Every structure is written in C-alpha cells, then in structure tokens.
Amino acid sequence: TTHHDFIRGLPKAELHLHIEGSLEPELMFALAQKNGVQLPYATVDEVRAAYDFEDLQSFLNLYYAGAAVLQTEQDFFDLTHAYIQRALADNVRHVELFFDPQTHTARGIPIATVFAGIARALREARTSHGFSGGMILCFLRHLSEEDAITTLEAALPLRDQYADLWTGIGLDSAEVGNPPEKFAHVFAIAQAMGFRLVAHAGEEGPPAYIHSALDVLQVERIDHGVRAEEDPALMAKLQQSRMPLTVCPLSNLKLCVVKDMRDHNLARMLRAGLCVTINSDDPAYFGGYMNANYIATADALQLGKEELLQLARNAFEASFVTPEQKQVWL
Ligand code: HPA
Ligand code: ZN
C-alpha cells in the first residue's frame, strides 16, 4: 500500500541496535564452520525454530550462545557490513549501534579486534554510501560494576583511534534485579570523560529503573522505556524534557513485553508528546529490521503519515551527532 511505500521512503535513523543481535542464522552457521565452533543446531531452520522466546532471559541465552561464533576482526566486519546492507535497503541513513565487548573478551577475544571490525565496516559505508554511524559500548548489567570498570579501562586506549565513531556508553542484558544504580560509579567516570550516556530501562524492569537511569546515571536517552506509562509523574517528566525513548516494537512482541502489537503503547506515548523513536533492537532474532518495525507498528496502531514522519524526525533529533549535522537532516 501507499502507507508502506511512505515508510520505505522515509529517511530513518536507528538508535537501538545491538550489532550482535543482527547476526543472521546463515552467517552464524558460516562463521561456526569457519572457526570450528560447535552450535547446538543442525540447520539454519533449526536455529530459526529456536527463536520462540518467553521473556528477555530466554532470548539472551541464545543471543550470547550465537555471539560465540564471532572471533576475528573480519567476523566483526562481516557482521556489521551485513547489518549496514539491510539498513541501507530500509533507507536508514544513520545508526548508533550497541556492542557488548564483555561477551567477547570473556572468550579471549581482544577488545581491539571487536572495535576494529565494527569500525572498518562503518567507515567503509560512510565512504561508499554516505552512511553515518556511531558506536555505543554497552556494559552487561548481569555482571559486576567492577567488570564494567575493567572493560572501560581496556577500551580507553582505543578512544582516540575511534573518536569519529565511539561516542557513547550504554547498559544492557538482564534488567530485573540489576538496576541502573548498580553502575553509578562507572557511569560517573564515563560522563566525566565526555561520553554520551544511555541505558536500557523499563523494558521488563519497573518505572523506578527509568527514574534511576535518569537521576543517578544521568542518561540522555532511555532504551525501551515502555513501562514508563505505569507512572504518570514519570510520563510528565519525559514529556516535558523530551527525553528520547528508543522503543523496539517487534522486540517487545517477541519477548512478550506486549501480547499483541495492537496493545503496544507506542502510539499513546507518541500522542502524549513523548520523544518516541522506532528501532529494531536485535533484528535477526526478532523478525525484522527497521521498515518491518515501522510497518508492523503503523498497521497495528493506525499511525498516520504525520505521526510516522514525527517518529523518524525524533530519531534524528535524539541522535548524538553535531548540531550542524542535525540541521542538515532536519
Ligand atoms: N534488552 C536487554 N539486553 C539486550 C537486549 C534487550 O532488548 N538486546 C540485546 N541485549
Ligand atoms: Zn536492546
């Protein structure tokens, strides 16, 4: 329909994309074979059949197992390159991608290998397609704050080399029981060093986690944030500050955060004046990249063209690029 064509034609920015979550089963198999990694599946179809999640943790178990096939700089390049091809096909012009170094350093992969492969793909895409990219290093919240500090210290020698890409620090993995304030010190260090800050909050965790991400960690965007709706005072605060929420509709559906897309609160939050954006989260696992997320949401919630345009604009507005670059886009 014309509505779907309108979505496909919209220039988009993606602000919530875990690069490890863009690992398609075909590439997972190819890398497993090349690197001699044993996968608990015989075929690509078996992998896809396993993507039937009941909650965040049931997904994370497969996501971390899958990431074990990533070993060389070329593997991280291939992963990122494949994501960028999908993004370009969806008319995504800018991505600020998350990566989880601890998932790789725990397996003996040097953090420099992770940075190098991802960065080479982003820089190549900038040169060949004018595709704009950023990197947000995420700490795994199920691990200790000490481990996060060690990771930040290991990455810091790379900062100058990747200054054109590495702009931010984030927080992901198992939310409930691992509140933002567990990472207060490491976020304070990162903030003092001039990093832009984000955190997953209010995906499965309560509104109190959104409050502490804002007040304790002092993040500039909330990743997910859909449970904010349970707290009217928080909703008012998000609306007044235009605090961006990077919402991931197909993810929410696959991880049973919502039962049916028609129940999703994205449209209500948008219509309440919040700075809502649409993102794909872990597209290889959740059944769709950016356009699929926009289309599923627009169809279920009857979003109009003005609303779709607002969602796309919100993402450029909420991005961590220079004011000059924003002017070009907006
Ligand atoms: N939530 C928390 N951690 C994650 C996610 C998510 O949606 N995706 C990858 N790691
Ligand atoms: Zn996420």
Average pLDDT per consecutive 10 residues, the chain (330 residues; last block may be shorter): 92 99 97 95 92 97 96 98 98 98 98 99 98 99 98 98 98 98 98 98 98 98 98 98 98 98 98 98 97 98 97 98 94
Would you state the pLDDT for residue 34?
98
Pocket of ligand 1, candidates 257, 282, 293: which has the most ligand atoms within 8 Å of its Cβ, to mutate? 282
Ligand of minimum distance to the alpha carbon of 221: 2
Would you state the pLDDT for residue 25?
97
3-state helix/strand/coil string of the chain: CHHHHHHHHCCEEEEEEEHHHHCCHHHHHHHHHHHCCCCCCCCHHHHHHHCCCCCHHHHHHHHHHHHCCCCCHHHHHHHHHHHHHHHHHCCEEEEEEEECHHHHHCCCCCHHHHHHHHHHHHHHHHHHHCCEEEEEEEEECCCCHHHHHHHHHHHHHHCCCCCCCEEEEEEECCCCCCCHHHHHHHHHHHHHCCCEEEEEECCCCCHHHHHHHHHHHCCCEEEECHHHHHCHHHHHHHHHHCCEEEECHHHHHHCCCCCCHHHCCHHHHHHCCCEEEECCECHHHHCCCHHHHHHHHHHHHCCCHHHHHHHHHHHHHHCCCCHHHHHHHC
Would you state the pLDDT for residue 60?
97
pTM check: above 0.90 = yes
**Closest ligand 1 atom to the C-alpha of 282?**
8
Ligand of minimum distance to the alpha carbon of 285: 1
Would you state the pLDDT for residue 1?
67
Would you state the pLDDT for residue 145?
99
How many Å lie between the centroid of ligand 1 and the Cα of residue 61? 11
Q: Could you tell me if the CB of 18 is within 6 A of ligand 1?
A: yes
How many Å lie between the centroid of ligand 1 and the Cα of residue 54? 14
What ipTM was predicted for this assembly? 0.96
Domains of the chain in start order, with CATH, are: 2-319 (3.20.20.140)
